[in-house]
Amino acid sequence: MRYAMAVDTKKCVGCSDCVVACQTENNVPLGYARDWITETVAGTYPNVEIEIRSERCNHCENAPCVRCCPTGASHIVEGGIVLVDHDKCIGCGACIEACPYDARYPHPDGYVDKCTFCIHRVEKGEDPACVAVCPTHCLHFGDLDDPNSDVSKAIADRKWKVLAPEAGTKPQIYYLI
Amino acid sequence: MRNTTRRDFLKISGAGAGSLLLAGPAIKAFSQIAGDDTIHPGEKLHRTPTYCEVCFWKCAGWVYTDKKGRIKKIIGNKDDPHCNGRLCPRGTGGVGMYYDNDRLQTPLIREGKPGNQYFRQASWEEALDLVAKNLDKVRREHGPECVALFSHGTGGKIISHLLKAFGSPNIAAPSFAQCRGPREVAFTATFGEDVMSPERTDIRDTRCLVLIGSHIGENMHNGQIQEMSEAIDKGATIITVDPRYSTAASHSKYWLPIKPATDLALLLAWMHVIINEELYDKKYVEKYTYGFRELKDHVKDKTPEWAYAITTIKPDIIRKTAREMAHAAPAVIVHPGRHVTWYGDDTQRSRAIAILNALLGSWGRRGGFYVPEKAHLPKFPGPAYPKPKRSWKDAFPGKYKLVNEVLSTGICDATIPNPEMGCNLKAWIVYGTNLMASLPDQEKTLKAIDNLEFLAVIDTMPMDIVSYADVVLPECTYLERYDVIRTSPHREPYIALRMPASEPLYDSKPNWWMAKELAKRLGLEAYFPWNNIEELLDWQLKHVGSSLDEMKHLGVKKLKREYDDLYFLNGEDYEFNTNTGKIELYSTELANEGFDPMPDYTPHPEPPPGYYRLNYGRAPMHTFSRTTNNPNLWELKKENNVWVNPKVARIWGLENGQYVWLKNQDGVVSSFPIKVRITERIRWDSVYMVHGFGHKERQLSRSYGRGASDSELITRIAEDPIMGGTGMRGNFVTFLTEKPGKEVAS
Ligand code: SF4
Ligand code: SF4
Ligand code: SF4
């Protein structure tokens, strides 16, 4: 089993619904976020292009945040989801430094937090909160080992890219372009 | 901000009232609640139905509360066609409206002499008595028609009922003259029916969607954005006409970067191509329309080459896009837009859009415009409304004959004494709309307020308008109250229930309770014969085969269509509600009133040297000025910025992220500075900013002074002679890089 997400940049409108839904689902304190939006603009008027992306932890297969964690709080569970055990975490921030995607934040309660792929929902067979709320249906989630999952189907017939492949982290968020 | 002579602009927690708000019961800071880590994801939550009130789309959803009754999240109702289980960011962030610690907490009464006024905390009893006393005084001395209501949103319905029972026809919503009025008048003149809300656009099944300045995706009209996304998946062609590279433009096959204020020329050229190349729906046009020959003649010389010189859109692109539309027809939508009060000829531009749709045969067709239906709930038995003897229109003899809603700017005019009117309006109730941001020409609004004997404001938040009130009545948010049943039209008629998920925080109350209490004090009890709103709702619901209990479990319910057909039947005869019974390409109604029966292009003023057209729009996470203080949504966008083309930035030596003040053609300077965003997404002759920022009310602790207010800079209005709309896109601004000496509220 290999959980992954695909983000359709041709449909995302950058509305940030995924960000708010994550905050209310996961009690992310105001001022912090587990997911966020980026926009890049290229070209000159009127030959302009923009790419809007909803970003979050890439649940890297080769995760530097896990490797560098001194307490073992950062770990990988079944399906490749990278998690932080809040009780074990001492908030040293090594993982924040190690993550090439800036996906982690220091929770005011003293531990480091980040996207969990909403594992508490996924265990019940639901989509992560961001995927479930997105009004443009541009987020696709599922098991890459299952060719019929939403995410497998989404990346099967579209061009895609991952962010910073050169970092060698084998990220599992696919951006449809 | 200029102070009015009678009413000081009151800071709600300002001098004389410093400790007022601390007295409210159980004030919990948002952070204490949201950051409470005793709540874990996955905890069992309880749900109650609601429909969202963060915008007019009114998506149905479920409010989830934890064991302690605290509101945790709001999730869309899967059975609701407005949202299909997915709320937009504002709806999802609606929790912030409830937790906003800047909320109005108790009734307030203005005290003191001009120049030395302050708000005093009051009991409901006292505040309602005072409102009733003042309304009654106006009624006795001048007649009930001298009271006006500005209303926005669902809660306004019951307050409107109160006002009609009181005997006044002067009930205005800025959504008409400042927003969608021109399209309603234009579509009614053409098809005999308006576009409605939610719009009857069949985007789901369209093969070509044409957006003219309509930035779906930045305006999160939920169902539309969802259907547009679905249409993109199904391979529909999107054509976006916008001087700005909007999000919609970036998702479009064609982006036409039109010169601002020239859309009508493009529309005429499209008609020219469609008629000249015989691409129009001949059967449809022949069977259903009136005035084709006149139209053909009218656009004879409106060639793409003619339009090119005006719009800067190349003739081959005009031809190509016209052919794409015709190719997709009748599954094509030339979208009527929503906020369309731009240049003063907006009804005519909307007419051009309507005519284009008629030529393509898309009205009443799959993938074009469907035939909507709405549920009809019976009126609770009660006396008939008294017949008003006067109305706001008396201030405008001979004008606005085609206007079937009340102009909010007309109410302002009718409040300022005027020789045509026997008596000007004397008292206002403002419900849920921040007139300082929703009306242009603030000076006129203030002048009108200055002439009022009494102003009551009902709101959940201390919006700028609250500062001018004589009495402030704090309403609880939509998450804490019942409201009337939602019956908005859609493909099928649906009803939706809103019920409280929590007791009202502080000393706030629901609108229906206020209306009933005021009615009691005004001798109008007979109009409110139900004991509480549950009784009213249950009675109404039982008449359409449901009940309050059932709706508490369902949230939304689909009713049966009265008429079978969502689209016109092939070859069937239809009678349209126009003078000729046909779709009027040539409008007999406009001709009768002395207006152009067919739209014509007229040039609009251009920015003087060194000035740029002020364009404004929406951000997906905010609804006008109403959400900018919402803690969750504020996090997503704390201030607006002014989009500047890099060429312009170079001329002015502007840097990305630098703060500037904007000054308009009339010398009005923004009260607060705004951040520069240098971007290739905007033309060099205009700037762009998101509407709703730059609040002057300090009590809005997050949004106060953040960003600039476009409304404040819109001092020049191009009035639409047909329906009184206030064209707002003819204002031009320049940059001040130094803090200006005067007129800056600090
Ligand atoms: S909710 Fe969907 S459309 Fe909106 S920003 Fe997130 S991914 Fe993009
Ligand atoms: S994105 Fe960052 S936090 Fe997430 S797994 Fe990769 S390295 Fe770790
Ligand atoms: S579109 Fe968004 S803000 Fe408007 S009613 Fe729906 S969820 Fe609420």
**pLDDT (tens digit per residue) in B591-609:** 999 999 999 999 999 999 9
Q: Evaluate the omega torsion of the peptide bond into residue A46 and state whether it is cis, within 30 degrees of 0.
A: yes
Q: How would residue B563 be classed by pLDDT, with cut points 50, 70 and 90?
A: confident
pLDDT of B40 reads 56
Please tell me the residue having the least CA distance from ligand 1 atom 6.
A18
Q: How would residue B519 be classed by pLDDT, with cut points 50, 70 and 90?
A: very high
Cα–Cα distances (Å) from B630 to B96, B461, B705, B707, in that order, read 5, 10, 15, 15
Atom of ligand 3 nearest to the CA of B623: 3
Inter-residue contact B728 to B342 (CB < 8 Å): yes
pLDDT of B11 reads 64
DSSP B476: P
pLDDT of B37 reads 38
More confident residue, B447 or B14: B447
Q: Work out the angle between the directed axes of helices B346-360 and B263-276 (0-180°, nearest 10).
A: 20
Number of domains in chain A: 1
Query: pLDDT (tens digit, 9 = 90+) per residue, B36-68?
Result: 333 456 678 999 999 999 999 999 999 999 999
Task: Tell me, using a 6 A CB cutoff, whether residue B88 lines ligand 3.
Answer: yes
Residues in CB range of B235: below 8 A, 6 or more apart: B207
Sign of CA dihedral B626, B632, B637, B638: positive
More confident residue, B403 or B73: B73
CATH number for the domain that contains residue A15: 3.30.70.20
Residue B685: is its pLDDT beyond 70? Answer: yes
| H helix or E strand, kind and range, residue B661 | strand B659-664
Pairing, β B108-111 against β B471-474: antiparallel
Residue B19: is its pLDDT beyond 60? Answer: no
To 10 degrees, the CA torsion angle through B273, B278, B284, B287?
Answer: 110
Average pLDDT over chain B reads: 92
Tell me the longest C-alpha to C-alpha distance in chain B: 73
Closest-CA distance of chain B to residue A150, Å? 14
CA of B619 to the centre of ligand 2 (A): 30
Question: What are the residue ranges of helices labelled H in B59-192?
Answer: 89-92, 95-99, 124-142, 156-166, 174-175, 181-191
Q: Is B437 helix (H, G, I), strand (E, B) or coil?
A: helix
Q: Considering only A53-62, B254-263, B403-412, which range has the smallest mean pLDDT? A: B403-412
Tokens describing residue B19: 């400790």
Contacts of B633 in chain A (CB under 8 A): 20
Structural domain of A135: 3-176
| H helix or E strand, kind and range, residue B675 | strand B674-678
CA–CA dist B685, B691 (Å, integer): 19
Polymer length of chain A: 177
Query: pLDDT (tens digit, 9 = 90+) per residue, B448-487?
Result: 999 999 999 999 999 989 999 999 999 999 999 999 999 9
- Cβ burial of B68 (10 Å; 0-12, 13-18, 19+) is exposed
Closest-CA distance of chain A to residue B698, Å? 21
Q: Is B256 helix (H, G, I), strand (E, B) or coil?
A: strand
CA–CA dist B661, B639 (Å, integer): 14
Residues in CB range of B21: below 8 A, 6 or more apart: B12, B13, B105, B106, B121, B699
Tokens describing residue A148: 């019929």
Tokens describing residue B684: 């060099």
Residue B501, number of CB atoms within 10 A of its CB: 26
CA–CA dist B210, B270 (Å, integer): 12
pLDDT of B12 reads 60
pLDDT of B503 reads 95
Q: Evaluate the omega torsion of the peptide bond into residue B198 and state whether it is cis, within 30 degrees of 0.
A: yes
Which among B197, B51, B120 is positioned nearest to B470, based on CA atoms? B120
Q: Residues B501-508: what's their mean pLDDT?
A: 96
Residue B742: is its pLDDT beyond 70? Answer: no
Report CB contact under 8 Å: B30, A30.
Answer: yes
Residue B569: is its pLDDT beyond 60? Answer: yes
pLDDT of B427 reads 97
Please tell me the residue having the least CA distance from ligand 3 atom 8.
B91
pLDDT of B18 reads 31
Tokens describing residue B727: 């064209």
Query: pLDDT (tens digit, 9 = 90+) per residue, B583-592?
Result: 999 999 999 9
Residue B25: is its pLDDT beyond 80? Answer: no
Backbone torsions φ then ψ of B479, nearest 5 degrees: -80, -10
Nearest to A17 among B92, B250, B631 (CB): B92
Percent residues over pLDDT 70 in chain B:
94
Tokens describing residue A36: 């966020």
Amino acid at B406: V
Tokens describing residue B396: 């405008």
CA–CA dist B300, B69 (Å, integer): 67
pLDDT of B38 reads 38
In B559-608, the DSSP E strands lie at: 583-584
Tell me the longest C-alpha to C-alpha distance in chain A: 53
pLDDT of B362 reads 98
Inter-residue contact A157 to A177 (CB < 8 Å): no
pLDDT of B7 reads 65
Q: Evaluate the omega torsion of the peptide bond into residue B330 and state whether it is cis, within 30 degrees of 0.
A: yes
Average pLDDT over chain A reads: 96
3-state SS, B157-221, equals: HHHHHHHHHHCCCCEECHHHHHHHHHHHHHHHHHHCCCCCCCCCECHHHCCEEEEECCCECCECC
Q: Which residues surround ligand 1 with Cβ inside 6 Å?
A: A 12-18, 37, 54, 134, 136, 138-139
More confident residue, B741 or A59: A59
- Identify which of A2, A55, A61, A101 to mutate to test ligand 2's pocket (most ligand atoms within 8 A of the CB): A101
Sign of CA dihedral B432, B434, B440, B441: positive
For residue A135, which ligand has an atom nearest its CA?
1
pLDDT of B6 reads 62
Structural domains of chain B, ranges and CATH numbers in brackets: 184-372 (3.40.228.10), 612-736 (2.40.40.20)
Report the half-sphere exposure of B660 (CA within 13 A, side-chain side): 25
Inter-residue contact B469 to B431 (CB < 8 Å): no
DSSP B109: E
Residues of chain A in Cβ contact (below 8 Å) with chain B: 10-11, 13-17, 19-21, 23-27, 29-31, 33, 41, 43-46, 48-50, 52, 108-109, 118, 120-121, 132-138
Q: Considering only A134-143, B273-282, B492-501, B556-565, which range has the smallest mean pLDDT? A: B556-565
Q: Residues B638-656: what's their mean pLDDT?
A: 97
More confident residue, B111 or B6: B111
| H helix or E strand, kind and range, residue B409 | helix B408-415
CA–CA dist B107, B124 (Å, integer): 6
Report CB contact under 8 Å: A133, B75.
Answer: yes
Task: Tell me, using a 6 A CB cutoff, whether residue A58 lines ligand 2.
Answer: yes
Inter-residue contact B248 to B238 (CB < 8 Å): yes
Query: pLDDT (tens digit, 9 = 90+) per residue, A32-89?
Result: 999 999 999 999 999 999 999 999 999 999 999 999 999 999 999 999 999 999 999 9
Task: Tell me, using a 6 A CB cutoff, whether residue B633 lines ligand 3.
Answer: no
Task: Tell me, using a 6 A CB cutoff, whether residue A94 lines ligand 2.
Answer: no
Query: pLDDT (tens digit, 9 = 90+) per residue, A143-160?
Result: 999 999 999 999 998 999
| H helix or E strand, kind and range, residue B663 | strand B659-664
Amino acid at B389: K
Write the Ramachandran bin of B31: left for phi over 0, alpha for psi from -120 to 50, otherwise beta.
Answer: alpha
Closest-CA distance of chain B to residue A118, Å? 9
Please tell me the residue having the least CA distance from ligand 2 atom 7.
A99
Residue B334: is its pLDDT beyond 50? Answer: yes
Polymer length of chain B: 746
Inter-residue contact B638 to B672 (CB < 8 Å): no
Closest-CA distance of chain A to residue B433, Å? 24
pLDDT of B32 reads 33
B428-444 in b/e form (b: 16+ CB < 10 A) is bbbbbbbbbbbbbbbeb
- Cβ burial of B603 (10 Å; 0-12, 13-18, 19+) is exposed
Q: Considering only B305-314, B368-377, B564-573, which range has the smallest mean pLDDT? A: B564-573
Q: How would residue A120 be classed by pLDDT, with cut points 50, 70 and 90?
A: very high
Which among B254, B241, B236 is positioned nearest to B215, based on CA atoms? B241
Q: Is B744 helix (H, G, I), strand (E, B) or coil?
A: coil
Report CB contact under 8 Å: A135, B88.
Answer: yes
